[in-house]
Structure 1
């Protein structure tokens, strides 16, 4: 199926009713410039009549959930079941030396499939990147370099960092260039990550392998005695779905879907058909949805519960016992699975919402004195003052494919959309405006801060989201209120983290003064 077929169908329908007749699309429905779409044209698009669309035509609109009319990323290409053939790769753990961490973007080849070298991108290697561990209060210099043949940036997703070092579209590093990013770590313990953010190339560079973890530790996390033995009872786990050519290569442009590129092959830490060998103890899994567009609902195939101990930006107040957790692109969660009740013969795996086997576990060894999880982990709170603050920034997310907007506008690097004072808390109201076809979930991310979710549709957020966040999946029709404070000055992006939507203009800028 052509990756842009659905948008072609959409534009043809729009042309019939005249709503988009003046929008300047070509005959293929590609390369439309909708940055100046009027409110009337937007309304016309909302009111499109699809009553005469054939069942086949509807099916061709990739990503549509025909049961409820809601466009989503839940009913698309099915993922492969992991047969557990390969032990899960463990990224190198890197700590600063005299406050310096060297990080270089590189291109090379990787043996993802046995006997085949796939062209890939990576940090400090040919594919993906290391885990960088830093500590609160530490003055850090990220010494970044670009050894690729194309420009890139280094975005520190979830890191509270001055705008000039955030690594957004303005901080481009050309091939052969290097740049030092200096800052003092000023936030609590968290599992963060880093990836590129150049205009027009973010989605493809991430797809080909540019992504790595950042661990922040603080005094609280160290004294809690949570599982923290790297590669033994504490594992980074990044999930990325991909498609490969017959020659087992990436061809991003061939599979590009303007509404979010997904794949049928799951890589976890870059490993095909992985398994994870664990002991009979409590094991900490730091989950990262590193996919361009796919959502994941994680659960155990046994139906047993696990404990969530952290959100994007830090530890939750107390362990949350749950049977499943959903992450949209860019989101993270830390969970603890108690493997002490299983044995070597146990059939246990992490699966998704349709029971696809993502990560089988192999149990080894005798039961140990498993680390007890403390009842209290943090002191996060949404204050009464924050709950009662007036809304000062309203954002309306709207559209699909190339026709995506925030407040009716597409991204302009030369336009500042909002300003906010350093250190002041403001309430941002995010509304995901549906259209007649239902709309879709937009994972909304703000750079340079960790925010609090005040409410979702006027109600307290679910327990899994009661903690520091930098990304949140906003469903079609939902209104989310966020308490947002920036502790550094500079220009920061906010955008949909479906990377193709970001590329197509669903992004804006806030300047902190």
Structure 2
């Protein structure tokens, strides 16, 4: 950790030298205020409806029998406003759930009591640049950062997590992530399941050693593929069982894993009814045999357990799929070998290297395994009916984009032990001309994961799925295109994409190009875009847009 912090400090010295020049060109930017370790204080002219204190601490919690597990945990307290704004999870490493209403003004006071720098990002929220949790604002142990913003987002299932430069993966893995739920009048007018029948579920994978401690080793293979744990945990609990009544539920699913992608389906073949995605409710329910859920993505589903006897059990599984290191040269070298087989080989290799703690060996990427179990525990009488219309969403149009004739193309690549965007690695002081965007414009952006060629690792073709996330306002998906060489693997996942509604994270498969329409409204400043495979992000697959 100290060596990483020293690297950050050296970069900041270089970064600080650019402050005067940047301020002259972009006077609205105040980089001096945003240097690592400077913190941020409350504004005298900001009158919050809700004020929350979040403290980050190192604690031991009981996850298994035997020794307690050391984690980095967030504790929340409401200082002003309704007590329901915070729900702490005392016996889990999961950070508090924050519950707010659209239109509320919120002040969040982050106190860092960890032996490291840290900062939190509000994933999916449309907030000012300085309140977004950019790594440049990381605070030291003992320091405080005060966030102040108005909740502009529609009702939806958002989340928050650490976003500290080069150590985001380890910090999120250690416990620095929580749920963020926003409600509004449109949603409240619907007769959707509420209270105990509205359940949020954070799905993650972890590896624990024989002393019940979290195991994370940043070895080369883990960095290149991303961390894969050998155990699924839900809301911080292993072998998770959700007790339900015989009625309809609203289940909110978050993929909070570092890198694992899930292909979720009910084991009895019941279709999954999707009612919401990253940015809230869809216009109409959509049914899928399975749904793909990449790191950072959320799905809200309607599940009706009425008519099922007490004791009935259902399992939500992740089905097998081909993450595809096939196509091109790798396809020729491995005979079309998919990510599932590659993951199993990797697991066996890592198991040998690490004394049997197979980082993903028991649960390879693209394997088939249980995620959580649902057990009907009581009978109730309910008249639940799924609304045919859920929300009104205005579709964005390509012809309204400022760059309709020339979408911004972002090439995703793994090369020379680096994860790159348009051949560039992350740096705080490296905004290029093609990363400057006029405020209050709609932009067409294409994420190209080898569709147009150009992927590579040395002289070899190396392509992996990349869940791409953009900070700031959410976007809509315009189209997907797939290189025919990757078609066989792609067919194992494509029926599970839910591209309707508002999104902030999009899974881009090998050989695929996904074009989205993203507004850049209201706020000027620096907003990140990056791969939400957190190991890839820490390897440099992250850049900044400058909105001016």
Shift of 1:485: 1.0
Segments of 5+ residues of structure 1 without an aligned counterpart are 1-30, 32-95
SS at match of 2:386: coil
Q: Which residue of 2 aligns with 1:331?
A: 297
Please give the alpha-carbon distance, in whole angstroms, between the structure 2 residues aligned to 1:130 and 1:255. Answer: 31
The answer to whether the Cα contact below 8 Å between 2:444 and 2:515 also exists between their aligned partners in 1 is: yes
The answer to whether the Cα contact below 8 Å between 1:146 and 1:175 also exists between their aligned partners in 2 is: yes
Q: Which residue of 2 aligns with 1:457?
A: 481
Q: Does 1:202 align with 2:219?
A: no
Q: Which residue of 2 aligns with 1:74?
A: none
Please, which of 429, 447, 467 is the counterpart of residue 430 of structure 1? 447
Q: Which residue of 2 aligns with 1:494?
A: 529
Please give the alpha-carbon distance, in whole angstroms, between the structure 2 residues aligned to 1:141 and 1:175. Answer: 20
Q: Does 1:406 align with 2:421?
A: yes
The answer to whether the Cα contact below 8 Å between 1:386 and 1:454 also exists between their aligned partners in 2 is: no
Please give the alpha-carbon distance, in whole angstroms, between the structure 1 residues aligned to 2:482 and 2:148. Answer: 40
Please give the alpha-carbon distance, in whole angstroms, between the structure 2 residues aligned to 1:455 and 1:399. Answer: 24
Q: Which residue of 2 aligns with 1:177?
A: 143
The answer to whether the Cα contact below 8 Å between 1:195 and 1:210 also exists between their aligned partners in 2 is: yes
Scaled by the length of structure 1, the TM-score of the pair is: 0.77
The answer to whether the Cα contact below 8 Å between 1:455 and 1:461 also exists between their aligned partners in 2 is: no
Q: Which residue of 2 aligns with 1:510?
A: 545
The answer to whether the Cα contact below 8 Å between 1:157 and 1:194 also exists between their aligned partners in 2 is: yes
The answer to whether the Cα contact below 8 Å between 2:477 and 2:499 also exists between their aligned partners in 1 is: yes
Aligned length: 417
Scaled by the length of structure 2, the TM-score of the pair is: 0.73
The answer to whether the Cα contact below 8 Å between 2:443 and 2:520 also exists between their aligned partners in 1 is: no
Shift of 1:387: 7.6
Shift of 1:161: 0.5
Mapping of 1:343-382 within 5 angstroms?
343-354=309-320, 355-382=368-395
Q: Does 1:123 align with 2:74?
A: yes
Please give the alpha-carbon distance, in whole angstroms, between the structure 2 residues aligned to 1:432 and 1:502. Answer: 15
Q: Which residue of 1 aligns with 2:117?
A: 151
Please give the alpha-carbon distance, in whole angstroms, between the structure 2 residues aligned to 1:314 and 1:461. Answer: 21
Please give the alpha-carbon distance, in whole angstroms, between the structure 1 residues aligned to 2:398 and 2:481. Answer: 19
The answer to whether the Cα contact below 8 Å between 2:396 and 2:476 also exists between their aligned partners in 1 is: no
Segments of 5+ residues of structure 2 without an aligned counterpart are 1-6, 8-46, 76-89, 321-367, 484-493
Q: Which residue of 2 aligns with 1:79?
A: none
Change in CA separation of 1:392 and 1:437 when aligned onto 2, cut-off 3 Å: closer
SS at match of 2:498: helix
Q: Which residue of 2 aligns with 1:81?
A: none
Shift of 1:314: 1.2
SS at match of 1:212: strand
Please give the alpha-carbon distance, in whole angstroms, between the structure 2 residues aligned to 1:411 and 1:504. Answer: 8
Please, which of 252, 269, 274 is the counterpart of residue 235 of structure 2? 269
Q: Which residue of 2 aligns with 1:314?
A: 280
Please, which of 395, 413, 416 is the counterpart of residue 410 of structure 2? 395
SS at match of 2:395: coil
Shift of 1:461: 10
Q: Which residue of 1 aligns with 2:355?
A: none
Shift of 1:462: 7.4
SS at match of 1:170: helix
The answer to whether the Cα contact below 8 Å between 2:527 and 2:544 also exists between their aligned partners in 1 is: yes
Higher helix share: 2
Q: Does 1:419 align with 2:436?
A: yes
Shift of 1:115: 2.5
Q: Does 1:479 align with 2:513?
A: yes
Shift of 1:321: 1.7
Shift of 1:401: 8.1
The answer to whether the Cα contact below 8 Å between 2:263 and 2:496 also exists between their aligned partners in 1 is: no
Please give the alpha-carbon distance, in whole angstroms, between the structure 1 residues aligned to 2:495 and 2:463. Answer: 21
